[in-house]
């Protein structure tokens, strides 16, 4: 995806703390690793090859996930949470330092607006961090904003309001370009709460007209991610409600436009891995917002409720990669709201779940699976997936982290660092003002 190489000069967590914690666990880790290596070799899999593949996996961190999240009812800030973008970057760097998996931050504007965007870039680079897709925001009105998005933004019936929303997206591209980001994610809450409020086809025409203007402003090597969502804030119809509408729009817009799958943006029983396979088959799978949910867009920790679904999604991704013969680079990002846990611990938890799902998908015996599928041996085909899913791959995950300077045990190492308590001593606390996701 052509991200800039960054020279790390600053560490969020003193590296010797990570090394000390690793030293205590090294012997047991090595024994577990060797045992897994023997077990995988028994079925013809080279554990070193798997770890090498895992070392290439990179997942973007949502800047808005670094503070305690909330709901419309309330938000409960946590002592030591970041109070501005530089502190958010420092915390993102701590997640990457311990997990080795999250080298890029996905920023959201205007939430992450800064007077000196070059300072933000350089501060991140100094921590060994880069930037993933930037996110525009035309689902809230900003103080002093001329025209309201109450009745929509890129699809508003008023051309001036649409122009204002387009202008904001062009500004996000400009800022993102200064940050060496390579993508823009456009999620809009546009939709209706009453039948008759909007004309569906006309509204989508307006969406495409607006997105064409944004598409035209993309730098040559950028991608435009269309994020669909079933409902909320609209509760009758949402303009970009599902993957079908998303892929039709991406095909209309052009090759740089692709579909972003936020796992929480589907009705509870929807088969998301099937959607992933469809989007990948037609070259329109742009990326992910990983999280988990039970009811709605709950933005819970990825893999915390449906780890098997996460595995099945990566099972489709691993197969799609073989089918795509190299033209396959979905942008993996997390999008979570940490309402009752330390955001860093939740992101470490989710990073481990995502890496685990990927490694389990890599060890699926695809040759056997293909044979069982073509001979309609249903149970053995399913068994292939179960055997991979039920394999304890934690030693391989730990080895990849270790080889990237991270922690054998991320959670216990982060706790041992005393990072949050130290930040609580130096950072101003943010008042708990009402609800809202951040």
Interface residues toward ligand LRH, by CB under 6 A: 64, 135, 187, 227, 229, 262, 289, 297, 335
Rounded to the nearest angstrom, the gap between the alpha carbon of residue 269 and the centroid of all alpha carbons in its chain is: 21
Stated as kind and residue range, the H or E segment containing 331 is: strand 331-334
Q: Taking CB under 5 A as the rule, does residue 299 contact Mn ion?
A: no
Provide the 10 A C-beta neighbour count for residue 32.
18
Distance in angstroms (rounded) separating the CA atoms of residues 287 and 381: 28
Residue with tokens 């099945």: 312
Q: Taking CB under 5 A as the rule, does residue 289 contact Mn ion?
A: yes
Rounded to the nearest angstrom, the gap between the alpha carbon of residue 219 and the centroid of all alpha carbons in its chain is: 22
Which of 298, 335, 345, 409 touches Mn ion by CB under 5 A?
A: 335
Q: Which two tokens stand for residue 110?
A: 């205007």
CB of 14 to ligand LRH, least distance (A): 32
CB of 327 to ligand LRH, least distance (A): 25
The secondary structure of residue 286, as a DSSP letter, is E
> Could you tell me which stretch among 63-71, 123-131, 255-263, 370-378 binds Mn ion (CB under 5 A)?
255-263
Q: Choose from Mn ion, ligand LRH, none: what does 64 bind? Cβ within 5-8 Å by kind.
A: ligand LRH
CB of 136 to ligand LRH, least distance (A): 8
Distance in angstroms (rounded) separating the CA atoms of residues 119 and 126: 10
Q: Choose from ligand LRH, Mn ion, none: what does 90 bind? Cβ within 5-8 Å by kind.
A: none
Phi, psi of 62 (to 5 degrees): -80, 120
CB of 234 to ligand LRH, least distance (A): 12
Q: Which two tokens stand for residue 76?
A: 């409960």
Q: Choose from Mn ion, ligand LRH, none: what does 206 bind? Cβ within 5-8 Å by kind.
A: none
Q: Choose from Mn ion, ligand LRH, none: what does 135 bind? Cβ within 5-8 Å by kind.
A: ligand LRH
CB of 299 to ligand LRH, least distance (A): 7
The secondary structure of residue 66, as a DSSP letter, is S
Residue with tokens 């000196």: 116
Closest CA to 291 of 259, 262, 329: 262
Closest CA to 187 of 151, 153, 236, 222: 153
- Give the residue with the Cβ less far from ligand LRH, 262 or 301: 262
- Give the residue with the Cβ less far from ligand LRH, 64 or 222: 64
Backbone CA torsion sign across 413, 416, 420, 423: negative
> Could you tell me which stretch among 41-49, 146-154, 254-262, 388-396 binds Mn ion (CB under 5 A)?
254-262
Q: Which two tokens stand for residue 39?
A: 């077990």
CB of 196 to ligand LRH, least distance (A): 25
Contacts (CB under 5 A) with Mn ion, residues 224-243: none
Residue with tokens 């033209």: 327
Q: Taking CB under 5 A as the rule, does residue 262 contact Mn ion?
A: yes
Q: Taking CB under 5 A as the rule, does residue 58 contact Mn ion?
A: no
Q: Choose from ligand LRH, Mn ion, none: what does 297 bind? Cβ within 5-8 Å by kind.
A: ligand LRH
CB of 204 to Mn ion, least distance (A): 21
Distance in angstroms (rounded) separating the CA atoms of residues 316 and 361: 8
Q: Which residues bind to Mn ion, rule: CB under 5 A? A: 262, 289, 335
């Amino acid at each position: 995806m052509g991200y800039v190489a960054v020279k790390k000069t600053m560490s969020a967590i003193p590296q010797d703390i990570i090394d000390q914690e690793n030293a205590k666990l090294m012997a047991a880790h090595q024994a577990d690793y060797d045992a897994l290596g023997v077990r995988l070799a028994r079925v013809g899999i080279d554990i070193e090859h798997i770890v090498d593949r895992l070392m290439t996996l990179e997942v973007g961190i949502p800047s808005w996930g670094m503070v305690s999240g909330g709901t419309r009812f309330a938000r409960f800030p946590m002592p030591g949470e970041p109070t501005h973008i530089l502190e958010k970057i420092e915390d993102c760097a701590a997640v990457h330092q311990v997990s080795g998996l999250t080298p890029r931050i996905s920023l959201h504007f205007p939430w992450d607006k800064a007077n000196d965007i070059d300072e933000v870039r350089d501060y991140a680079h100094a921590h060994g961090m880069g930037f993933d897709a930037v996110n525009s925001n035309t689902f809230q009105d900003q103080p002093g904003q001329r025209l309201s998005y109450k009745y929509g933004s890129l699809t508003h019936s008023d051309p001036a309001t649409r122009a204002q929303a387009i202008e904001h997206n062009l500004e996000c591209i400009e800022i993102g370009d200064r940050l060496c980001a390579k993508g823009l994610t456009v999620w809009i809450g546009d939709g209706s709460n009453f039948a008759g409020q909007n004309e569906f086809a006309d509204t989508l025409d307006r969406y495409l007209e607006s997105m064409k203007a944004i598409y035209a402003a993309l730098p040559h090597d950028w991608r435009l991610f269309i994020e669909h969502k079933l409902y909320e804030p609209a509760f009758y119809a949402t303009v970009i409600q599902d993957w079908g509408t998303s892929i039709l729009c991406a095909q209309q817009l052009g090759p740089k436009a692709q579909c972003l799958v936020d796992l929480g943006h589907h009705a509870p029983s929807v088969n998301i891995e099937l959607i992933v396979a469809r989007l990948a088959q037609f070259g329109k799978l742009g990326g992910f917002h990983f999280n988990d949910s039970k009811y709605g867009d709950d933005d819970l920790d990825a893999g915390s409720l449906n780890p098997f679904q996460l595995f099945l999604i990566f099972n489709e991704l691993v197969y799609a990669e073989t089918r795509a013969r190299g033209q396959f680079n979905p942008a993996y990002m997390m999008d979570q709201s940490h309402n009752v846990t330390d955001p860093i611990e939740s992101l470490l938890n989710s990073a481990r779940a995502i890496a685990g799902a990927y490694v389990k998908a890599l060890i699926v015996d695809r040759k056997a699976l293909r044979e069982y599928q073509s001979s309609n041996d249903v149970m053995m085909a399913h068994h292939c997936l179960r055997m991979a899913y039920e394999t304890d791959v934690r030693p391989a995950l730990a080895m990849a982290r270790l080889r990237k300077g991270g922690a054998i045990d991320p959670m216990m190492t982060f706790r041992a660092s005393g990072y949050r308590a130290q930040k609580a001593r130096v950072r101003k606390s943010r008042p708990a003002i009402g609800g809202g996701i951040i």
